[in-house]
Structure 1
Amino acid sequence: MQVQPRCYDWGESSERAVSVLEGEAGWLSCPLFSHPSVYNYTSMQSAGHNLVWYRLPEGHELEQPITYSARLTRERERLWLQPATADDTGLYICMLRNNSSCSKIGMRLKVLRPNEVVRGADCEPLVAVAPTQEVIPLQEGKMLHCPDLQEAGKMVDKNTTVTWYHVWRSHSGIRCTKAPFWHNEREQKGLSLEFHNMIVPYQGLYFCTVHLQRKGQTLNFTRSINVSAVYPSSLPKIPSILNPSAHQVFTVKQDTEVRLVCTGLFPFLDSWWEIWWTVDGKTLEKLADNRFTNINRQVKYDFGDRTEESVLVIKDFQPEDLHREFNCSVKNEKGFETRRAQLQEEVSLPSMELGCGLGVTLVLMLLLFVVYHVFWLELLLLYRSWFGTDERHTDDKEYDVYISYARSGEEEQFVLSTLRSVLENELGYSVCIFDRDSLPGGTITDETLSFVARSRRLLVVVSPGYASQGSQALLELKVGIDSMARGGHLRVILVQYKPVRRQGWVRELRRARVALALVRWQGDKSRELTSRFWKRLRVELPVRRVSGGEGVALMRLHSQNSTNSQTGLITNTVKDTQKVFNSAA
């Protein structure tokens, strides 16, 4: 009795799985002959081996011998489907056997219907096979060959033709063009497509549809190629480290997780590349410390040049790690570079002391702000009394203040009994009042000009009757504004004795009000020497030195003064003398 040889089963080959579009030609090559050094078809035939194909249809459990026909034929180690149908889907087994040995391997065939094919655009040809990848350097040329054409050409008759298509994205959308192309930089030569000069717009998917004759039948199949542009091969291809830089220092903290980032640039090469970390000259695989791990990722891909990042993660960083040597290295077939990471320990500030110091500083700043906001007027007076310049030592003026007012009973009473009395008796200013200090028989105009010229300040008491009670007051105002505009040392101060409607202000007063200081008298509220009225007025008047006790007295604050000191600094002081001069003119 003859004993059947035991058959060695290689299982199913996942790498040799085949997809075919329904209606197109397809073929299966026995995977046993994918390594000619192990199995060679010619030598196996000479040794008496026979190649037999079996099929296991989907949903079946038993292998079935293949019945050959005009559509299904075998040529050497290939099984031809001309054309393929959806029922051809299944597992195909090729068995190589003789009387003493047997080997078999399976491969899967998937026949796709047209509606099962996913396309990026409606104009794309139907393709069942995944696209192959091709790169072409910019400004260089290359010949593009249709995939599987060389293998199919060994088993077909002559008169094979190929049609090329290009699918590319433009600003207006996806476009499909058919060879011959508009530019002559891409030209079909025979069955191949030649690129004379690669540029960026030539990237994209290229489709080649093959029409061939085999045993009197016209067959076709379509393949696709994804073409990408890369930087020219004439550029330097040595890798470099972008980060860390030569002088970069990583700040680390004890007992925390530390991450050291290394970034390398690898110019395009159709070969291997590598980026890695070493600790004290050892790679992480050889380092017996699971605290050290690394994470690699691609940061950027630009026309073939890739930027890669490698992060060295150090868990629970220890003080002795500061003395270790951490090096990042990059390498490809053209060169090598390494760089050491420099570490320094983070200086931790005492949080409690820092927080207390910051809190005290903020409280002091807040207190100073409140004091200044409430007592700014008193502080300004105190500063002037200590550091201000006494104008009596810098000019030859006779009077400190010349008072201009309406010659009426109430206003005159206010000037003589209140203003003059306080300024002369309490504050020590020399005051000039025309009706009191002028000599009988003099000319009003000349006397007025003389008094104003010999005074350091012109104090104008504004009231409803100021403009209507004669021209003496207006003359004094005009003289003061003219003197101020000519660059003299005279300054004009407006004191509002009673509210005046805007319509009641004469033209000279309306224009002067824009640029001159205005101090408001508020009746009984302003009678106290410590009131806001007298403090504001003293700010406008010439500086008078005070003794130490008097300076302290200036800081005393009455209750009504606290509520009335909420305005800004002296915003009503003289702003623009030229503006006043123009107004007076």
Structure 2
Amino acid sequence: MFLSEPMCYDWGESSVGAVSVVEGEVGWLSCPLFSHPSVYNYTSTQSAGHNLFWYRLPEGHDLEQPITYSKDRERLFLQPAIADDTGQYICMLRNKSSCSKIAIRLKVLQPDDVVKCGLPVAVAPIEDLIPLQEGKTLDCPDLQDATKMSESTPKVQWYFAAHLVSFHDREQKGNSLQVHLMMEQYQGLYYCRVQYQRRNQTLNFTRSINVTAILPLSLPKEPSIMNPTNDQIFTVKTGTEVRLVCRGQLPFVLDKPSREIWWTVDGKTLDKLPDRFKQINRCEQSHHFRDLTIESILVIQDFQSQDMKREFYCSVKNERGFDTRRAQLEEEVSLPTVELGCGLGVTLLLMLILFVVYHVFWLELLLLYRSWFGTDERHTDDKEFDVYISYARNSEEEQFVLLTLRRVLENELGYSVCIFDRDSLPGEPKHTSSIHPFIRPSFITPLSLKGWVRELRRARVALALVRWQGTSPESCQSKEVALMRLHSQNSTNSQTGLISNTIKDPQKVLNSAA
């Protein structure tokens, strides 16, 4: 056999890959030797005396078999293909002095293994682009091959998503499909089924076209940088890894889809810089209608202070234009965390100390405040008197009340004192009812025989008794002065406590009087 002759150069199996065909449809194999016309050309090889032969190596066999299928120049046709046609095929060019051969694999697929949501197609779809609001004519792929094999004019039927196309803006004209006005919902797979007659047999094959809408060609197609913006500033910190993010929008340009995004540092591309400068195109997102939004990250490891003086530029480019933008940097100011922590701790400690001091010594603090900044509250607290003094009618006590106690309470402590002989109207009786208008009824009320025990207890709460010891031998007898706390509805209990606690220290009063 010719296959075993040593003079035949074996190219092995074609790198194009296996050819697939659906069982029951027409399929064909093209000899891969003619895929490089500069090496092998069918016309020139025929004129040089080379003949083309086909052999088949079925699945599970070791012996090649000559093929008598229909042949047309460099193609071998299967009309139609059956499951047993699966296997390896060898095409050979041979003359008297030389020979070359190459193998190609064929797969015959069942229709149920191919169909997903449309018609069974074993051949990969052809990509086609149609601008929105524009029109285009679609021709069925490989129709010319059917014309060569057909004994009559082939007929084509068009389908969209497994349904016959029958819309007013998409209609079949002859064997072509005319899209009058492209819209977004018209995107998807279009199928064309070709039927023809050969030797009284109806044959067919199916092809597909994946149609994608793009933006109208009249719109601007220049690229632009979305991030960083003109006023955006990247905050960086020396000694750390810094990442500068650039996002560019690159519109799709028909027939020239080349699009790029890159970083430069001081006008140099990253391949001319140290390894600590790296570029990562982390995200490439499909925008709408084939426009792209690409994100590129410049990673700077161990950012140094001298890098602040460098110029970092991000650039984008397509066939319509170019755009570039500089990344502005600002060094991060490190906050003194230790100092801030210590200051906060000291502040909290001082607040805690002040809180404790206030709760323990609040009375002393309040007295100190009144002695320094005390004001006359008689016009604001809605009271006429703060203190009513009840005393015995003798010269010593009366002199103490009128001269010493009154002066301390009124002049030094700022209280309004009610002294009966001085502040009562002439002719008023000297009993409890005479002071009733000045006292809140909930503290002092007229006594009655029926409830005298309860009333005396309430009077005891309302009265503060002051005892002191005279300093001279003549005044060694204990003296008492009763201070009655006077209240209005708006008065506070703090002033009552201040009076009682102040007068309970007789030595303080005497010292003040001295």
Q: Structure 1-normalised TM-score?
A: 0.64
Structure-2 separation of matches of 1:338 and 1:325: 12
What per-residue deviation string (whole Å, max 9, x for no partner) do you get for residues 80-139 of structure 1?
Answer: 1111111111222212222233232222211111232251x3xx2222223332222221
> Which residue identity lines up with residue 428 of structure 1 in the other structure?
Y
Other-structure match for 2:43: 42
Other-structure match for 2:81: 84
SS at match of 1:303: helix
Match of 1:428 among 415, 420, 442: 415
Structure-2 separation of matches of 1:314 and 1:48: 65
> Which residue identity lines up with residue 222 of structure 1 in the other structure?
T
Structure-2 separation of matches of 1:299 and 1:260: 18
**1:383–1:135: structure 2 CA closer, same or farther, 3 Å change rule?**
farther
State whether residues 443 and 461 of structure 2, in contact with CA within 8 Å, keep that contact through their aligned partners in structure 1. Answer: no
State whether residues 187 and 213 of structure 2, in contact with CA within 8 Å, keep that contact through their aligned partners in structure 1. Answer: yes
Structure-1 separation of matches of 2:184 and 2:305: 52
Structure-1 separation of matches of 2:314 and 2:210: 34
The answer to whether structure 1 residue 266 and structure 2 residue 218 are counterparts is no
Q: How does 1:203-242 map to 2 (within 5 A)?
A: 203-242=187-226
State whether residues 383 and 491 of structure 2, in contact with CA within 8 Å, keep that contact through their aligned partners in structure 1. Answer: no
State whether residues 171 and 177 of structure 2, in contact with CA within 8 Å, keep that contact through their aligned partners in structure 1. Answer: yes
SS at match of 2:240: coil
SS at match of 1:198: coil
State whether residues 385 and 486 of structure 2, in contact with CA within 8 Å, keep that contact through their aligned partners in structure 1. Answer: no
State whether residues 208 and 224 of structure 1, in contact with CA within 8 Å, keep that contact through their aligned partners in structure 2. Answer: yes
Shift, 1:363, TM fit: 3.9
Shift, 1:217, TM fit: 2.1
Match of 2:309 among 323, 327, 340: 323
SS at match of 2:226: strand
Other-structure match for 1:187: 171
What per-residue deviation string (whole Å, max 9, x for no partner) do you get for residues 309-336 of structure 1?
Answer: 1112222223333333322211111111
State whether residues 401 and 459 of structure 1, in contact with CA within 8 Å, keep that contact through their aligned partners in structure 2. Answer: no
SS at match of 1:154: helix
Other-structure match for 1:540: 492
State whether residues 54 and 91 of structure 2, in contact with CA within 8 Å, keep that contact through their aligned partners in structure 1. Answer: yes
**1:132–1:402: structure 2 CA closer, same or farther, 3 Å change rule?**
farther
> Which residue identity lines up with residue 265 of structure 1 in the other structure?
Q
SS at match of 1:322: helix
> Which residue identity lines up with residue 53 of structure 1 in the other structure?
W
Shift, 1:204, TM fit: 2.1
Shift, 1:239, TM fit: 0.7
Structure-2 separation of matches of 1:527 and 1:111: 120
State whether residues 387 and 416 of structure 2, in contact with CA within 8 Å, keep that contact through their aligned partners in structure 1. Answer: no
**1:19–1:537: structure 2 CA closer, same or farther, 3 Å change rule?**
same
Structure-1 separation of matches of 2:178 and 2:446: 104
State whether residues 139 and 199 of structure 1, in contact with CA within 8 Å, keep that contact through their aligned partners in structure 2. Answer: yes
State whether residues 293 and 314 of structure 1, in contact with CA within 8 Å, keep that contact through their aligned partners in structure 2. Answer: yes
Other-structure match for 2:292: 306
Structure-1 separation of matches of 2:65 and 2:358: 103
Q: How does 1:516-531 map to 2 (within 5 A)?
A: none
Shift, 1:398, TM fit: 8.2
> Which residue identity lines up with residue 57 of structure 2 in the other structure?
L
Shift, 1:459, TM fit: 3.7
Other-structure match for 1:249: 233
State whether residues 125 and 209 of structure 2, in contact with CA within 8 Å, keep that contact through their aligned partners in structure 1. Answer: yes
Other-structure match for 1:17: 18
What per-residue deviation string (whole Å, max 9, x for no partner) do you get for residues 117-172 of structure 1?
Answer: 251x3xx22222233322222211122222332343333233322222222xxxxx
What per-residue deviation string (whole Å, max 9, x for no partner) do you get for residues 425-457 of structure 1?
Answer: 998345699xx9688899xxxx99xx97xx7xx
SS at match of 2:39: coil
Match of 1:140 among 134, 138, 141: 134
Bigger drift between 235-244 and 366-375 goes to 366-375
> Which residue identity lines up with residue 50 of structure 1 in the other structure?
N
**May I ask how many residue pairs the two structures share in their alignment?**
444
Q: Percent identity?
A: 59
State whether residues 241 and 265 of structure 1, in contact with CA within 8 Å, keep that contact through their aligned partners in structure 2. Answer: yes
SS at match of 2:338: helix
State whether residues 164 and 206 of structure 1, in contact with CA within 8 Å, keep that contact through their aligned partners in structure 2. Answer: yes
**1:440–1:539: structure 2 CA closer, same or farther, 3 Å change rule?**
closer
Other-structure match for 1:399: 384
The answer to whether structure 1 residue 130 and structure 2 residue 124 are counterparts is yes
**1:460–1:393: structure 2 CA closer, same or farther, 3 Å change rule?**
closer
Structure-1 separation of matches of 2:206 and 2:24: 11
What per-residue deviation string (whole Å, max 9, x for no partner) do you get for residues 338-372 of structure 1?
Answer: 22222233222333223322333444455566677
State whether residues 264 and 330 of structure 1, in contact with CA within 8 Å, keep that contact through their aligned partners in structure 2. Answer: yes
Structure-1 separation of matches of 2:125 and 2:362: 82
SS at match of 2:287: strand
Structure-2 separation of matches of 1:252 and 1:300: 31
State whether residues 381 and 535 of structure 1, in contact with CA within 8 Å, keep that contact through their aligned partners in structure 2. Answer: no
Other-structure match for 1:197: 181
Q: How does 1:60-79 map to 2 (within 5 A)?
A: 60-66=61-67, 68=68, 72-79=69-76
State whether residues 326 and 341 of structure 1, in contact with CA within 8 Å, keep that contact through their aligned partners in structure 2. Answer: yes
State whether residues 34 and 40 of structure 2, in contact with CA within 8 Å, keep that contact through their aligned partners in structure 1. Answer: yes
Bigger drift between 334-343 and 4-13 goes to 4-13
What per-residue deviation string (whole Å, max 9, x for no partner) do you get for residues 520-552 of structure 1?
Answer: x9979x999xxxx999999638989x99x97xx
**1:394–1:374: structure 2 CA closer, same or farther, 3 Å change rule?**
closer
Structure-1 separation of matches of 2:460 and 2:33: 114
The answer to whether structure 1 residue 354 and structure 2 residue 355 are counterparts is no
The answer to whether structure 1 residue 98 and structure 2 residue 79 are counterparts is no
Other-structure match for 2:474: none
Match of 1:334 among 320, 329, 332: 320
Shift, 1:298, TM fit: 0.3
Other-structure match for 2:265: 279
State whether residues 259 and 312 of structure 1, in contact with CA within 8 Å, keep that contact through their aligned partners in structure 2. Answer: yes
Structure-1 separation of matches of 2:152 and 2:367: 112
Structure-2 separation of matches of 1:61 and 1:441: 144
**1:359–1:398: structure 2 CA closer, same or farther, 3 Å change rule?**
closer
Structure-2 separation of matches of 1:188 and 1:298: 37
Match of 1:162 among 143, 156, 159: 156
> Which residue identity lines up with residue 150 of structure 1 in the other structure?
Q
Other-structure match for 2:278: 293
Structure-2 separation of matches of 1:226 and 1:368: 80
> Which residue identity lines up with residue 263 of structure 2 in the other structure?
W
Other-structure match for 1:31: 32
Shift, 1:267, TM fit: 0.7
Unmatched runs of 5 consecutive residues or more in structure 2: 389-408, 451-456, 467-484, 506-514
Structure-2 separation of matches of 1:330 and 1:384: 76
Shift, 1:196, TM fit: 1.3
State whether residues 252 and 345 of structure 1, in contact with CA within 8 Å, keep that contact through their aligned partners in structure 2. Answer: yes
Shift, 1:260, TM fit: 1.6
**1:365–1:398: structure 2 CA closer, same or farther, 3 Å change rule?**
closer
Shift, 1:30, TM fit: 1.5
Structure-2 separation of matches of 1:464 and 1:91: 124
Q: How does 1:365-384 map to 2 (within 5 A)?
A: 365=351
